[in-house]
Each structure stands twice: as structure tokens, then as C-alpha cells.
Chains A and B, each alone.
Chain A
Amino acid sequence: MDLSAPKTCFSTDKASADAESEWVARSREGDSDAFRRLVEEHSGWLYSYHYRLVGGREEAEDLVQETFLKAWKGIGSFRTGRPFRPWLFAIAHNVAHSALRKPRKVHIPLDEPDAPEPADPDSMDSRQQARLLAREVEKIVASLPLADRELFHLRYHEGLGPGELANLLGKTEGAISASLYRLKEKIRGKLDQPPSGRTPRHDK
């Protein structure tokens, strides 16, 4: 399996980057049609990011909307020639973190239907074992603090490497590598615990 994930939502080819620069420039002049192109281009990954952090579809869509409204209001302060996506991500990051600081509805899932009897892992191939493990990982990630969920999403969903994460989150590459290591060990540790021993998340 290729874990390097060379193309990320933050890496674009030159043609796309040129087109995007033009949309940004026209948006700065107040052209809302050009801004619509930016919305269409970026709403997908922004939605995934917000969904991973807040865990609800409607709330995630509200946060995508708020992110773009702030971007529209502030696009005059965007420095032309700089990459647009990290700038947009910084807005999304602030929107998500400030939304999660406020009191909010908590989604409490109803009791899950009885799961089918798990198959014997020894009889599964590695792909099936990884899928089984992934379902456990999803539950564990949902219980992690906000910063961990954000890091998990950016690393494993968007496929960003430590260098890109460092630029995006304003930390050193070493600090990011250490955080990624701790995150993985935390997940591994919780996988070794029985489900009842896993503590719920606290968004602080």
C-alpha cells in the first residue's frame, strides 16, 4: 500500500494553480462568479475537515459556509502570489476551533444494532483485518480531543506529510512528527483496551 499520498488537497498542478490565482484575483475585485469557482473547488475538502471535527453533517455544512463567508469578507487582505488553500485552511481552522469552544449539541448515538459475530482474524487476509481494525479506529478517533482529530484527519485523510502539516499548523516539523507518533501510540493503546475502558472526548 502506498502510504506516501503524493497528491494532497494542498498540492495542485500548475494549470490549476494559475486558474485559481485568477479566480482569487477576480474575487478580490468583488467578482462573485469567480468566488463561486473557489467555493466549488474547495467546499469538498473543507466539508470533510469540518465533519471530522464536529461529527455532524449539518453542523459541518454550517462551518463550511461560515468559512467561505469569512474568506469573502477578508479576501482583500489575501496576499496575491501566495497559495490560497493554506490561507483558506487557516480560516477553517479558526472557525472550527471557535465553534467547538461554544456550548453545542452533542450527538449521542442510539444503541448500535447487534453486530454480526466477528470472524476469526486468523482466517482473514490482511486487507480484511485492516478493515476490521479501521472500524475500531474510527470509534477511537471520534473519542479523541479536537487537536488529535484534526491531526488525524489532515495526516490520514488529506495525506499531508510532516512538512506540510508544520507549515499549515504553524509548528516545527519535529513537533509534528512527535505529535503524530503520540497520536498513533494513543490509538494503539486504546485498541488494546476493552471498549468500555475508552474515555469520551473533551473538546477543550
Chain B
Amino acid sequence: MTNDPKRNQEHDLLDEALFEAARGEIPPMSPDLPDRIMAKVDSTPRTHGRAWPLVIVAAAAAFLLIQILPFLTLERESAPSLPGEVREISSVTGEDIPVNFTLASGNLSLNVILPETEKALSKNRDGVISFARAVQNTTLLFSGQHLADD
């Protein structure tokens, strides 16, 4: 408001016009709109409660899977299939792991202590295979600690 009565009168008139304009010119809503909305709602699934606990569980599961994936992968992978050399790493389970190699001309069993990281595991796996190649036609029990130190 100002000290100018004419300006104040205009101000009041504009205010009144603004409220009047805001009230007018909105056609009524369809009376069946709530029914239409509920028909959609009834056919729409929704989340119950917050989704973040599920996200945390999924992230934890993914993290664990990544940690054990190298072991699982090693179990399935095949070594080079050359005549007379390593064909398959048949089983790797747990720590201080017995690794069974099937060779073309005999079997080789090793106890290997596998390191935790995938990178070291990969390096060791190559070492195991190299060793197996060198001792083909032989069956013996070997301490993998030598390989881990390699």
C-alpha cells in the first residue's frame, strides 16, 4: 500500500480481480473420474514399504557373488586340451584346496592354498597348469605353498 489513495484503490481492484480470475473459468471435473482412477489403481501393482532394504540385500549378494566368482569360474574352466597335457581342472573347493588334474596319461592331485584375490588366483592357476604340464604321466601329492610363493 502507498500513501496515494488512487494508487491504493487500483491496487485493491487488481487484487480483487486476481482472486476473481482465479476462481473462474475452470469447467467441472467429470463425476466418474474417481471411478476411472480406481479402475487403473486396482490393476496397478505397487511397492509395499521402502525399496532400499531390497537394494542393500541385492548389493550384498552381488558383492559376495563377485568374491566367490573366481572360484566358481575356476571349477568350470578347461585347461588347454593338448594331447598328453592338462585337459581339465575337475574340482576346486574351499581353502587349502585339492585340485585334481586329469591328464591324458594319468592323474595329478595337488593341494593348493589359493590366495583371495582374483588376480593372484589367476596367476597361481597358470602356475598350477605349468607345473602339471611338467609332471605329466605322474601322480603325486604336492604342497601348493611353493606355487603361492612363486
Q: A64-B37, A65-B40 known; A130 and B16 CB under 8 Å? A: yes
- A1's partner among B16, B23, B27, B49 (CB-CB below 8 A) is B16
* Nearest Cβ on chain A to B35's Cβ, whole angstroms: 9
* Nearest Cβ on chain B to A53's Cβ, whole angstroms: 11
Query: Whose C-beta in chain B lies nearest to the C-beta of A47?
Result: B29
Q: A126-B13, A130-B13, A138-B25 known; A39 and B50 CB under 8 Å? A: no
Verify A152–B22 contact, CB threshold 8 A: yes
Number of A residues with CB within 8 Å of any CB on chain B: 50
Verify B15–A157 contact, CB threshold 8 A: no
Verify A141–B41 contact, CB threshold 8 A: no
Verify B18–A156 contact, CB threshold 8 A: yes
- A40's partner among B15, B24, B34, B49 (CB-CB below 8 A) is B34
Verify A32–B38 contact, CB threshold 8 A: yes
Task: Give Cα distance in the complex from A32 to B40, angstroms.
Answer: 11
Is residue B149 contacting chain A, with contact meaning CB distance below 8 A? no
Interface-located stretch among A10-18, A71-79, A85-93, A111-119: A71-79
* Nearest Cβ on chain B to A183's Cβ, whole angstroms: 9
- B48's partner among A39, A76, A135, A138 (CB-CB below 8 A) is A76
Task: Give Cα distance in the complex from A69 to B45, angstroms.
Answer: 10
* Nearest Cβ on chain A to B25's Cβ, whole angstroms: 5
Q: A43-B29, A43-B33, A156-B18 known; A129 and B24 CB under 8 Å? A: no
Is residue A26 contacting chain B, with contact meaning CB distance below 8 A? no
Residues of chain B having any CB pair with chain A under 8 Å? 12-27, 29-30, 33-34, 36-38, 40-42, 44-51
Known: A48-B26, A51-B27. 11 other contacts (CB 8 A): A3-B15, A30-B46, A47-B33, A73-B47, A75-B46, A76-B47, A77-B50, A130-B17, A131-B17, A141-B21, A152-B18
Residues of chain A having any CB pair with chain B under 8 Å? 1, 3, 28-30, 32, 35-36, 39-40, 43-44, 47-48, 51-52, 57, 60-61, 64-65, 68-69, 72-77, 126-127, 129-131, 133-138, 141, 152-153, 155-157, 184, 187-188, 191
